[in-house]
């Protein structure tokens, strides 16, 4: 037999052997158990899975409880035919999201949020890897990362400082509206940086669009919250059909999402054509573009990146500041120590600024503890695994949604003793300096390759806000009609971004001198 024929037979035999080995491995994997979890319901209709017995609120706590009940830090449930795996420990999250990031970094495509509302087409937070354009997500991320590096965000400090000082003036005028002032500050910062836009003192339309868009994200991204996510064929039901309220709602929400994506971008683009545009990320990136066949594609990348700055960068800062007022109301000794620290540095002669950060480690520790104590994003944004996998003897099917329970990880008593108590000291050494070995609350910003690229800008804005409020205002418990102090309850809403429920507190300038320093800004 000719040698060429022998080589062909050898190649065929090798291919057959590889195929058989793969089949045996696949069969072995499929015989392995899924991670433990609650049983499904409606046994006569097994394709519903756990759809009707999932927790309706505070899912992160229920998922952590399942770990204790089933004695496993990874648990499983199903929504329709889709598998969902929840990781309730830092070890499991690191093993899968970091060490196996090559297959655990995709995003699930949900019919309601990704498709009908449209976030999956341009929002890099929710964008899956695209088989049609494998570089689409990476191209978006590259544009974002160029602007949001640790050193790169420092050029935005003047805008951040102006917005924080404006928040102090607004807080002086109406201290009970601190959440609204935080939202205005965050919106002013982001709109100025991303688009070079000024905002109105009240009822700014673009701040409102961003707020509504974040509410839409929260309403559409919780697994099991929309039947159309499990039964995707329902997307073809006409909006006028009885029972198709989800379709009408999606159409309304998509208009808001499109407005957030397009309107500020087009305003900046028009201002550039007229020569009146202010410095901004959008203007800078558009100026760098060269004409060519890929210009429209690159504009799309810029538009998506700046819209993410606009949307994701605002609400997170608001929730952290809300949590700060709650923590200072509940833990007055923390505020007193922070004020003593800032007074030693600025001596009441000026407001703290970014240059003071190395001299204010306790305020930095307060921020770290805020990110740990009550997370903005308790469950992070879900990932999707792109290949069948085996972990600790459990089978994880390709296409499963993988949720990192940031709340459970950051409330692990082994890593954070007494986790429900607000303790900035856990981030410090005995001499009061920051502990370089303390495990930072990075799950607050997501996991693995999907770690939030805007985290450096967000933490800078948060830090300056806290430092300036601590320097100038007192925060204390309110009293009832009989003069008894009211201790706020710690109650949070259920959403992708979890806000504390309104609570009573008293916010006043620390002295007439501090009040005057704010008025003189």
Find, among 348, 312, 352, the residue nearest to 454 by Cα.
312
Confirm if 127 and 107 have CB atoms less than 8 A apart: yes
The CA distance from 331 to 312, in Å, is 29
The CA distance from 76 to 403, in Å, is 10
What SS3 state is found at 200? coil
φ/ψ of 87, rounded to 5, equals: -100, 115
The CA distance from 224 to 396, in Å, is 19
The CA distance from 178 to 169, in Å, is 11
Residue 384, strand partner residues = 106, 401
The CA distance from 216 to 247, in Å, is 14
Q: How many CB atoms lie within 10 A of CB 398?
A: 13
Q: Does 479 belong to an annotated binding site?
A: no
The CA distance from 124 to 67, in Å, is 31
The CA distance from 521 to 514, in Å, is 11
The DSSP code for 110 is -
The token duo for 376 is: 């903005």
Annotated binding site for heme: 452
Annotated binding site: 452
């Amino acid at each position: 037999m000719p040698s060429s024929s022998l080589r062909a037979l050898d190649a065929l035999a090798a291919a057959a052997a590889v195929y058989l080995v793969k089949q045996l491995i696949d069969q072995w994997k499929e015989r392995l158990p899924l991670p433990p979890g609650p049983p499904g319901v409606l046994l006569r209709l097994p394709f519903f899975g756990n759809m009707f017995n999932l927790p309706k609120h505070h899912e992160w706590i229920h998922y952590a409880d399942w770990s204790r009940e089933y004695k496993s830090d990874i648990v499983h449930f199903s929504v329709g035919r889709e598998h969902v795996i929840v990781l309730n420990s830092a070890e499991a999250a690191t093993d899968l999201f970091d060490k196996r990031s090559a297959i655990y970094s995709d995003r699930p495509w949900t019919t309601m949020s990704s498709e009908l509302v449209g976030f999956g087409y341009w929002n890099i937070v929710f964008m899956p890897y695209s088989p049609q354009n494998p570089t689409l997500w990476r191209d978006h991320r590259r544009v974002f990362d160029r602007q949001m590096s640790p050193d790169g965000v420092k050029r935005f400090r003047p805008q951040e400082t102006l917005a924080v000082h404006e928040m102090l003036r607004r807080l002086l005028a109406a201290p009970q509206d601190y959440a609204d002032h935080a939202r205005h500050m965050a919106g002013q910062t982001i709109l100025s940086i991303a688009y070079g836009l000024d905002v109105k003192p009240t009822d700014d339309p673009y701040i409102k669009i961003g707020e509504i868009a974040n509410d839409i994200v929260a309403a559409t991204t919780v697994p099991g919250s929309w039947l159309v996510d499990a039964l995707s064929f329902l997307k073809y039901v006409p909006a006028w059909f009885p029972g198709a309220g989800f379709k009408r709602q999606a159409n309304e929400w998509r208009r808001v999402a499109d407005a957030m994506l397009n309107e500020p971008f087009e305003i900046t683009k028009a201002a550039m054509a007229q020569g009146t545009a202010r410095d901004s990320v959008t203007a800078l990136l558009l100026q760098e573009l060269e004409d060519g066949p890929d210009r429209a594609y690159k504009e799309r990348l810029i538009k998506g990146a700046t819209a993410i700055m606009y949307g994701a960068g605002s609400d997170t800062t608001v929730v952290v500041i809300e949590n700060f007022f709650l923590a200072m109301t509940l833990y007055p000794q923390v505020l007193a120590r922070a004020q003593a620290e800032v007074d030693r540095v600025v001596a009441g002669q000026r407001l703290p600024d970014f240059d003071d950060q190395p001299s204010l480690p306790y305020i930095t520790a307060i921020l770290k503890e805020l990110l740990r104590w009550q997370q903005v994003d308790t469950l992070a944004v879900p990932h999707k695994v792109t290949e069948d996998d085996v972990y600790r003897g459990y089978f994880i099917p390709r296409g499963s949604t993988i949720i990192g329970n940031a709340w459970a990880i950051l409330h692990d008593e082994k890593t954070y003793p007494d986790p429900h108590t607000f303790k900035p000291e856990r981030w410090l050494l005995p001499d009061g300096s920051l502990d370089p070995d303390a495990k930072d609350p990075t799950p607050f910003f997501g996991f693995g390759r999907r770690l939030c690229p805007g985290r450096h800008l967000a933490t800078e804005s948060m830090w300056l806000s806290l430092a300036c409020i601590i320097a100038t205002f007192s925060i204390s418990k309110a009293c009832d009609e009989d003069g008894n102090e009211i201790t706020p309850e710690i109650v949070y809403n259920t959403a992708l971004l979890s806000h504390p429920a309104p609570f009573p507190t008293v916010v006043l300038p620390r002295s007439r001198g501090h009040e005057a320093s704010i008025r003189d800004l």
